[in-house]
Structure 1
């Protein structure tokens, strides 16, 4: 009887000591406090969207989803028939105006007629302006020569009759008439030259304005023609193609496909609940577990909070509207443990993950008693 009593006493004392030791340890031992958030791997440069700036008809699709492409690779070609015809029309208009401008400048500044290189592909414009140049110069020369011949004869007649006024053989009024005629002819020559230059200056200003407008139109049409070839803006992987039908019609600004950059650093985008965001700061460390790599085998990657969105974002889900803060973490997969030597661990955009963001430390005792204290506090506050 006494033996059983002593045995029971020893068990009670040992249990009490164990409890006391555990409580003492729990008051001293600290564990990490974490906020868990689901996330996914994304490129730091975000998904690139390839759009059709001016719209058109799809002539050829050169890539498929999953294809790797390099910067500048041709992805989709649109029908070039209309934009190319528009460019050729503008090129012809610009060539015609430049040929006209070359002729005007040669006449206006009295220099040899030389056509710019841009007109070489349109010899019909060069020939037309060369002929017009010759005709205009010939017409002006004929008119001036005719007036100068008349002026020369009138001066000769005036020189012959002026001495005869003194002898009375020619009246003074007749000499004055000849002088007026000489002045009139000289005035006609000056007037014709002035009118010719004025016409050229007017034509020069008009042609210069038309050329500027045509050049601007050519630039715009050339940009539209270049836009008929949709090229990759960066190295990446095609993840979504919105249009798969040759002959499909695109409107201006339509999204054609998406690609994920491969040259950019990968980060984890976590969605943190508004109830946890108060304890998260930039620079905090985290353990990132990737669903593709079992954490019980591969472990977790070290992460660091690099960005926290300024406000909440919302997304419609099956459970309703989900509100969250967007938190970006840099993740270093070097801490992940391969299952065997030579296994390569690769992170890819789209991989889902769980981020355990370390927000502080607490003792084991506080962690265990927190639910009890919270429940008690809530109960004591009820009416």
Structure 2
């Protein structure tokens, strides 16, 4: 009887050991499966990020609405290299800025806020007057013309808001040719009488 009790206890102990071993094996398997699942999730997340990036690049969107200027790609299905410029977009609601070339010998006479005036070459000069403007900034270094190689400074002008009614409803469009003149000295009283006649003669010669 005593021997049977001892055998039973030994069998119970063995079963407990087996249960512990099974628990450890099960836990190891669960941890292994969990690690594999985590690796698969990380891989799928990377694939999702890559897919979202490709999806975003299917449609090209500008950060704000505007006018397309200087479109460089005209083919359907063409390959675009990284860093290539597709087009320039002029914001619809932004202030139009006039870019004017300044001779290097004259740049020392320019300063921000200086008075200027512009002529809109696209409009009828007989009905569209000169518009007052101001110098916004001047480029800090020389720029060279890509064709002629001639050096110049780039001055940016802005038409004064008080001058806009003189357009009589005509619309300014990006890329429109404009003649900009920056006043670097005082105009004499005589020049106010002579200048209109000079302008008429100059434009008459151009028309011929």
Task: Tell me the TM-score range normalised by the shorter chain.
Answer: 0.7 to 0.9
The structure whose residues are more often strand, as a share, is: 1
Task: Please name the residue that 1:332 is paired with.
Answer: 160
Offset of residue 302 of structure 1: 1.1
Q: Determine whether 1:206 maps to 2:31.
A: no
Task: Please name the residue that 1:272 is paired with.
Answer: 102
Indicate the structure whose relative CO is greater, using CA pairs within 8 Å and at least 6 residues apart: 1
Of residues 11, 21, 44, the one that matches 1:181 is 11
Map of 1:254-333 to 2, 5 A cutoff?
A: 254-293=84-123, 295=125, 297-317=127-147, 320-332=148-160
Offset of residue 235 of structure 1: 2.1
Superposed CA offset, 1:35-64 (max 9, x none): xxxxxxxxxxxxxxxxxxxxxxxxxxxxxx
Offset of residue 227 of structure 1: 1.8
Offset of residue 303 of structure 1: 0.8
Pair 245,306 (structure 1): closer, same or farther in 2 beyond 3 Å: closer
Task: Please name the residue that 2:73 is paired with.
Answer: 243
- In the alignment, structure 1 segments of 5+ residues that lack a partner are 1-160, 163-169, 365-383
RMSD: 2.8
Query: 2-side partners of 1:310 and 1:336: how far apart?
Result: 33
Pair 257,268 (structure 1): closer, same or farther in 2 beyond 3 Å: closer
Superposed CA offset, 1:5-32 (max 9, x none): xxxxxxxxxxxxxxxxxxxxxxxxxxxx
* Greater Cα radius of gyration, structure 1 or 2: 1
Q: In the alignment, is the contact (CA less than 8 A) between 1:287 and 1:302 conserved in 2?
A: yes
SS at match of 1:225: helix
Query: 1-side partners of 2:165 and 2:123: how far apart?
Result: 9
Superposed CA offset, 1:50-81 (max 9, x none): xxxxxxxxxxxxxxxxxxxxxxxxxxxxxxxx
Query: 1-side partners of 2:37 and 2:94: how far apart?
Result: 51
SS at match of 1:289: strand
| TM-score normalised by length of structure 2 | 0.75
Of residues 163, 178, 193, the one that matches 1:353 is 178
SS at match of 2:60: strand
Offset of residue 178 of structure 1: 4.2
Pair 231,330 (structure 1): closer, same or farther in 2 beyond 3 Å: same
SS at match of 2:39: helix
The structure whose residues are more often helix, as a share, is: 1
SS at match of 1:348: coil
